[in-house]
Structure 1
Amino acid sequence: MTDEIKKREKEQKDAKKFLEENKIDPTPTNILKYRLWKECNEECPYTGKKISFESLFGDAPQFDIEHIIPFSRSLDNSFTNKTLCCVEENAKKGNKTPYEAYYGTDKWQEILSRVGKFNSDFKNQKLKLFQKVLDESDDFANSQLRDTAYAATEASKYLAHLYGGIVDSSGKRRIEAVKGQVTSHIRRVLGLNTILGENPESRKEIDEKEAEKSREDHRHHAIDAIAIALTTPSMVKKLSEAAKSAGHLHPKARCRYFKRFAPVEPPCENFVEKVHNIIENIKTSYRVSRKVRGPLHEETYYFPRDKKGHKKEVGECVHIRKRLDELTSENIENIVDKTVRECVEAKLKELGKTSPKEAFKQESNLPRHKNGKIIRKVRIRKNLSVFPVGEGSRKRYVANASNHHMEIVETTKGGKKEWEGYVVTTYEAMQRLKNKEPIIKRDFGEGKKFVFSLACGEIIELDEVDEKRQKILDENGNPKRGLYRIRTVPQSKQIRFVPINDARKITQIPKQGMTAKPETLRERNCQKVIITPLGEVRKAND
């Protein structure tokens, strides 16, 4: 599965690169066109006409994306059910399947032959769809409600074992493995995808990108649950009927998606507003692991040095080797060898560039030492704290790879309370565990009071502030409180946190986002809390 995902991601990147090089906006639709274009070997599977770049991406395209089994009859909007088709031929095909439109004609075998030569992993699946015979008497709703994928089937069996069977004694089906595409359609047509947006708009005002499901907020799982609960045979039948009558009802729709469906009556009045109010009050609960896990140190060995570069048992920095095209502009002044540094600076000046990465990516641009040798790598000075591991001849110096937690301690200076933070590395936490000491230290001596510890994933509650760091007040004039999740605990003690519902990866969150040192947390009346699986906020007894 992972290999397949990586392959699809590469296809997407290749398509985007091609489109950008040819001055075409790499929208999801254009990327899809490109993938289908390459899949069908740049020829229309129905007519055999060659599909040129201009005829597909030009101002007056002669070819477009089409559903092999009409969308109104399948509700299948997957890549597997799509190909390219000449615009005129697509109009002739209408709402028919390829089998219904071409079987028994001279074109039939030619079409199958072209599909059989498709250049993709989906070739066999698409060939089956081209030959598929739809039985009008089939129970369409039930076919859409059954997900026959292996994982879904096994999950259904497990739930049936726990709760008395898939079908109850009265013959009613109690466990449904619902197809993801159907719930996706329901989320969209009922406006559920607008709920987590910053400015939810009416269904008519949503464009193609805004109608997409957001995965940047953990509450999207709750919206999925609502969509699944609404996925009944009657709802799927409504979707099917809406798809069949969509064309003439939405000729000027801004969003391509909503051209596929006529309006679907919501389950109740003010449905989206009611769901929005419920979702707004959801608090995401996390299971925080307090185990000491993760790398204890980096794999690279270093040797501590003083500012002059001399090796010391305890030093302020280390020397590391880097290729010239890996350096940043700030690294130049930290090149250890003065002669090498001058050669690099002179070459940058000669090339008229400030970025080593840009200047030295070509071999011909590399500087030469005064002895005539090409300089490819340099040693740079880096401020890095290292510690010894091993003893005797096996003694090595390594850098910390991760931090386990921070211990917040309150002190009193001149009658004023202040918070200090002590960062505990994963290595140090493991040493405490090994020595049968408490992983979290609570005794810091006289005049220092332990407040709480903070680790990645834990929750804090604190006063909200605006862009000017001024506290935000509620309607009663009290400081407004917010719940946040700790994401990183760095050696700088500048703790990084995000709202509890934020589901983005740490690499997707701007570095200039929400950060605070211990004293700032005190000023904002920070309190460590836990959120139960039922959403109850309780004070953490740390």
Structure 2
Amino acid sequence: MRIFHDGREAKSRKSSAVARRVARGMRRRRDRYVRRRAALLQALVDYGLMPADEGGRKALEALDPYDLRVAGLDGPLPLHHFGRVIFHLDQRRGFKSNRKSEKGDGEAGLIKQAATRLKAAMAEEKARTLGEFLHHRRLKGETVRVRLKGAGAKASPTRDDLAGGLDGDGRAKASYDFYPTRDLIEVEFDTLWAAQAAHHPELTAAVQAALARIIFYQRPLRSPPPGKCALLPARDKDDLEGYRAPRAHPLAQHFRVWQEVRNLRIEMAGTPQRRLMPEEGELVGKALLAANSLSFDKMRALLKLPAEARFNLESEKRDRLKGDETAERLAAKKIFGKDWRHFPPAKQWAIVDRLLNEEDEPTLIDWLVTEAGASRSVAAAAAGTALPDGYGRLGLRALKILVPLMAGGLSYDEACVEGLGKSHSVKDRGDLLPRLPYYGQWLQDDVVGTGDPWDTPEKRFGRLPNPTVHIGLGQVRRIVNALIDRYGPPAQVVVEMTRDFKLSPRQLAEVEKEQAANQRRNDARREKLAELGVAVNARNLLKLRLWEELSPRDSIERDCPFTPEKIGLRRLFSENGEVEIEHLIPFSISFDDSAANKTVALRRANRDKGNRTPWQAFHNDPRYDWPGIAARAAQLPKNKRWRFAPDALERFGDEEGFLARQLNETGWLARMAKDYLSAVTPANQVWVIPGRLTALLRAKWGLNGLLPNNYGDSKSRLDHRHHAIDALVAALTSRRLLLLMASTYDEERDRIVVPLPLPDLHDSLSAWRDRMTVSHKADHGAQAGQRTGNATSGRLHEETAYGLVRDPAAEDGMNLVYRKTFEALTEAELPRIRDRRLRDLVAAHWAEAKPSGQKLADALGDFARMVKDPHIANGIRRVRILKKEKAEFLVAIAPDGGGPAYKAYAAGDNAFIDIIETADGKWIGEATSVFSANTPSNQPAWRQWPDASFVMRVFKGDLLRLNWKGRDCIMIVRRLDAAANRFKLALHCEAGSLDKRHDAEDDPFEWLMASYSTLKAMGAQKVRVDELGTVWRLDPADALKRL
């Protein structure tokens, strides 16, 4: 039985890749900026617009670029001064958005509103360029930097005249005063160039184009590649028709329409269900392609059927079939109108392709005008239209074959056989393999790789985006290959999967009734939105539904769940976004984007809640009334109430299953594993068993009491060995039993008697339980000298960069300095404000405000607004704070060319601890940080000790065999506590929240806190437990050779 890390952070439960991806993106963005700045500087020197010597360039820094940007409009500037202007434009080159990202809620967001205000203000002041407008602001003592201000922002508290107005508390709403965009910088660049070119003939058009490309070039967004076609997959990366087609493609829309038409059946009392006749199918299909939708009532009239006739796809919830959604949008009056459906297919395809892939709106509009023959207004309307997103399962090559056949009368499966000569559901991958390869090599239709044989398997074949599934399939490969090596290829494989059993007729009727009621409620909501003048879209419908759930009463106003403030319909849909949709259990933790995990609340409360559950955020926050929150939560639907509980995160695991997130990843892992395992076992001998059936059989066979730590009659999740019992139950489940149980309704299933498959099952399992050792996947990473490329074994150090104090003695021994938002300071940080004058002023203000009961943040805000000091004329946003830290716990950063360090990071986690035996027989430990472990020149200090004897290198997650409480035990290292010279260990089989279990009085679990000397006394040895549970002792001499 194998336990492995799920690829998520232990505390936050976020994917481990998320934080790395964000940090990597920030580094890459910074690196691109530095490269662009260096390229521009070199070009300016080459064109004579900057001095070649660094001293001359330094002298230019003293010039005010805003003065120069205005002076350059009306008169000649020295070439080097003009170069200073160009360099400044590059540093503040303005915001440029992607047109596809502007179609959501962000289109009318804060940036766009501020950009619109900026252009209006420029027109009002008759400023010819952005630089002239900013110069005017400087003359009036106003800031020229973009700042988000108001509620929810790290805002300057000295400004009250914010453009966003005031919220319900009288606080300024979050907004920007202005927001420069890239087009304004481009216009200013061209304007200044034209003005200066009249005085300097060397400023040619070629030089202008070269500099403009350096400054304004923006990398196109890289969309994730679609998967391969399920029927005719791509042969290589250039075979575009072998990749899945966008749902918006006209062929994909036609395929969906004809597939539904061919799936239609007519039902009439007293007669068998029948397919549509060829002429009937043609009538319905053409009607759907020519309209937005077709109701079943109109379909009956079209086919001249009696009123009592019904269609198999018809229900109370579904009263119509969708037509061509792409045509519906592009055939709108303001776009192509009726002409769209008469365009040749090739023209439609080309237009849709441009709308989906062109990021720059002006470029798209120009193409639509010149190539598609559209007017400017039609092109602009088309460019702003959102088409159906996502991809289907088939590529264009398959669709070009299947759609004509299906339009001619064949069903999907018939068209596959007729046109492709293959079934739509059976994948032929050839002969079975002797061992499992890397999963991407077998599941090539589900991943996208480079195809380059020189790349690593992950890059060559591709990898699945879900980290848990990626890691899980890798462990499946290791376990199955180990079993094959020992026992030969498997004859049959059973995969456990969480899956619901089918509903009984009564349950099905209840579901359909509820769905019909939901449909009626949605129709009423659409009418309500139309009355309010609010866009009728999925997001607003959800917002209205969540608002209705805030109270069972049909009231005009409902309470915000986190505050007692009222939320009326006007406030709910206010343009400033004062009310937002919020995930109760954070999405980054739960990956639960269902309505059951959402509510609507005031934006400022959502900001205070942050990435926490309601209990974590508000139960101990004096600004919020937790009893009131709990009372309001009680009014919510049942599936939301428990998410306000203190143990919401723990219950999430029980309520939602083992990481039932991101496409129900447990189920996805099981499905992928089933397909993957067909590489070594015939596909008809690899099958899936529902998790609920496993639990039922485990109870019927009396296996729930086999493990300790059981509370009640259910299996213990506090012992990893329960997974092995589940695996055994799955292996003992026959297809006949699976069919019997799965085809039986819930109310009958408990009455079925299932005899034990083996007469001595309980005795055998009891003996096996005591012999079993859980295998834990090691996670040692790649240390220096073992890595390929730039990979590391984890985060090298903490994220915060500290400045180094030159004279710590002059700062009371403080050797580090960092910046922090003024209002976010803690009381302990007030005496460490570096500016002594400011420190004394703040201390005096707090000494006066604290006795009155005022909160520190409010007191600091009042101070920043009221203080009258010439040194604080422009307000306080951030202050510099001093800190003291031991040098050995720091990672100092020096310039690449050498010289003294200029900043430092906290070293962060330890990678491992080396246990050394000294000449007098004592065990001591030497910890190595992750940063040091990844430094090629790093050598542990103990290597310099002539009498030292290496015992073992211990990583977090390693296994040790030792004598504890008089018995031989295998224990796992859960924590490296180098500061206390000890390890924190637990038995290999212990699961759950171990800290909570240690503190619980009714739980027998306890930590083993073992010092190095205690480990020696216990006879500790490092061991490895392989995938099949075999325990191997690791020889220290062999381990030393590999260091």
Q: Which residue of 1 aligns with 2:751?
A: 262
Q: Distance in 2 between matches of 1:347 and 1:245?
A: 72
Are residue 487 (structure 1) and residue 978 (structure 2) matched?
no
Query: In proportion to residue count, which structure has more helix?
Result: 2
Residue of structure 2 equivalent to 1:537: 1031
| TM-superposition CA deviations, 1:184-206 (whole Å, max 9, x none) | 443455454554451465x4xxx
Deviation (angstroms), 1:522: 2.7
The offset of 1:225, in angstroms, is 0.8
1:401 — aligned with what? 908
What is the number of residues matched between the two proteins? 377
Instruction: Give the 5 Å matches for 1:189-204.
Output: 189-199=700-710, 203=713
Q: Distance in 1 between matches of 2:702 and 2:845?
A: 58
SS in 2 for 1:520: helix
1:275 is aligned to 2:765:
yes
Q: Distance in 2 between matches of 1:483 and 1:176?
A: 34
Q: TM-score, normalised by structure 2?
A: 0.30
RMSD: 5.1
Aligned partner of 1:262: which letter?
Answer: R
Task: Give the structure 1 partner of residue 847 of structure 2.
Answer: 346
Counterpart in the other structure of 2:722: 220
Alpha-carbon shift at residue 162 of structure 1 (Å): 1.9
Q: Which of 421, 426, 435 lines up with 2:925 in the alignment?
A: 421
Q: CA deviation at 1:386?
A: 1.8
Q: For residue 350 of structure 1, report the CA deviation from its aligned partner.
A: 1.4
Output one character per residue of 1:453-510: Cα deviation in whole Å (capped at 9) or x when no partner.
211222122332xxxxxxx3xxxxxx32332222333551443333222455799787
Report the alpha carbon displacement of residue 410 of structure 1 after superposing the two structures with TM.
2.0
- Pick one of 974, 988, 1012 that aligns with 1:500: 988
Q: Is the 8 A contact 1:303 1:311 kept in 2?
A: no
Gaps of 5+ in 2: 1-6, 8-12, 15-314, 317-496, 524-540, 546-592, 596-666, 784-792, 1000-1005, 1037-1043
* Residue pair 2:842, 2:863 contacting (<8 A) in 1 also: no
What do residues 259-296 of structure 1 show as CA deviations (whole Å, max 9, x unaligned)?
xx237445256755653543343212234335221222
Give the structure with the larger strand fraction.
Answer: 1
Aligned to 2:216: none
Partners of 2:1019 and 2:829 lie apart in 1 by 40
Distance in 1 between the 2:752 and 2:841 partners? Answer: 70
The alpha-carbon distance between structure 1 residues 322 and 496, as it changes in their structure 2 partners (threshold 3 A), is farther
Report if aligned partners of 1:301, 1:396 keep a CA contact under 8 Å in 2. Answer: no
Could you tell me which amino acid in structure 1 is paired with residue 903 of structure 2?
Y
- Residue 677 of structure 2 is matched in structure 1 by 159
Kept in 2, the 8 Å contact 1:347–1:367? The answer is: no
Instruction: Give the 5 Å matches for 1:128-207.
Output: 152=670, 155-163=673-681, 165-167=682-684, 174-199=685-710, 203=713
- Distance in 1, matches of 2:763 and 2:1007, equals 30
Tell me the amino acid that sits aligned with residue 487 of structure 1.
R
Is structure 2 residue 795 aligned with structure 1 residue 295? Answer: yes
The one of 444, 455, 459 aligned to 2:959: 459
Distance 1:122 1:311, change over 3 A: closer
The structure 2 residue matched to 1:96, chosen from 497, 501, 506, is: 506
User: Is the CA contact 1:407–1:453 (under 8 Å) kept in the aligned structure 2?
Assistant: yes
1:113, distance to aligned residue in structure 2 (A): 4.2
For 1:102 and 1:455, the matched residues in 2 are separated by 52
| TM-aligned CA deviation for residue 427 of structure 1 | 2.2
For each residue in 1:93-117, what CA deviation from the matched residue of structure 2 results, as whole angstroms up to 9, or x when unmatched? Answer: x963545x999xxx89965844876
Task: Work out whether residues 974 and 986 of structure 2, in 8 Å CA contact, stay in contact via their aligned partners in 1.
Answer: yes
Equivalent position of 1:430 in the other structure: 934
Q: Aligned equivalents of 2:594 and 2:1026: distance in 1?
A: 45
**Equivalent in 1016, 1023, 1029 of residue 522 of structure 1:** 1016
* Cα 1:502/1:444, change in 2 over 3 Å: farther
Mapped pair 1:286 → 2:776: yes
Cα distance in 2, alignment partners of residues 193 and 331 from structure 1: 54
Q: Share of identical aligned residues, percent?
A: 20
Seen in structure 2, the aligned counterparts of structure 1 residues 80 and 284 have a Cα distance that, compared at 3 Å, is closer
Residues of 2 paired with 1:189 and 1:325: CA distance?
Answer: 61
Counterpart Cα distance in 2 of 1:327 and 1:227: 57
1:283 is paired with a residue of what secondary structure? coil
CA displacement, residues 117-166 of structure 1 (integer Å, 9 cap, x when unaligned): 6969889xxxxxxxxxxxxxxxxxxxxxxxxx776555444433323x23
Report if the CA contact (8 A) 1:299-1:398 is conserved. no
Per the alignment, do residues 364 and 421 of structure 1 end up closer, same or farther by CA in structure 2, a change over 3 Å counting?
A: closer
Q: 1:427 to 1:150 in 2, by over 3 A?
A: closer
Change (3 A) 1:297 1:361: same
* SS of residue in 2 equivalent to 1:417: coil
Specify the alignment match of 1:450 in structure 2.
950
Partner Cα distance (1:306, 1:515) in 2: 41
Query: Relative to 1, partners in 2 of residues 1:522 and 1:460: Cα closer, same or farther, differing over 3 Å?
Result: same
Deviation, 1:404, is 2.0
Helix, strand or coil: the match of 2:946?
A: coil
Q: Distance in 2 between matches of 1:501 and 1:109?
A: 45
Larger mean Cα displacement after TM superposition, 379-388 or 111-120: 111-120
Aligned runs of 1:8-19 on 2, under 5 Å? none
Query: 1:345 and 1:360 mapped to 2: Cα distance?
Result: 8
Amino acid aligned to 1:283: T
* 1:390-427 deviation line (CA, Å, top 9, x unaligned): 33468433231332221222225xxx632221111222
Classify the secondary structure of the residue corresponding to 1:498: strand
| TM-score normalised by L of structure 1 | 0.54
Q: What's the counterpart of residue 475 of structure 1?
A: none
Q: 1:277 to 1:108 in 2, by over 3 A?
A: closer
| Matched residue SS, 1:291 | coil
8 Å Cα contact 1:343/1:367 also seen in 2 = no
Alignment CA distance shift 1:150-1:450 (3 Å):
closer
Give yes or no for contact 2:917–2:924 (8 Å, CA) kept in 1.
Answer: yes
Secondary structure of the residue aligned to 1:443 is helix
Consecutive unaligned residues in structure 1, runs of 5 or more = 7-44, 47-75, 83-93, 124-148, 168-173, 204-210, 247-260, 354-358, 465-471, 473-478
In 1, the alpha carbon distance for the partners of 2:1010 and 2:806 equals 31
Q: CA distance change for structure 1 residues 110 and 498 in 2, over 3 Å: closer, same or farther?
A: closer
Query: Which of these two proteins has the greater Rg computed from alpha carbons?
Result: 2
- Once the two structures are superposed, what CA deviation does each residue of 1:187-239 show, in whole Å capped at 9, x if it has no partner? 455454554451465x4xxxxxxx3762x543233123123213323433257
Q: Confirm or deny: 8 A CA contact 2:915 2:953 kept in the other structure.
A: yes
CA pair 345-194 structure 1, distance change in 2 beyond 3 A: farther
User: How far apart are 1:308 and its partner, in Å?
Assistant: 5.6
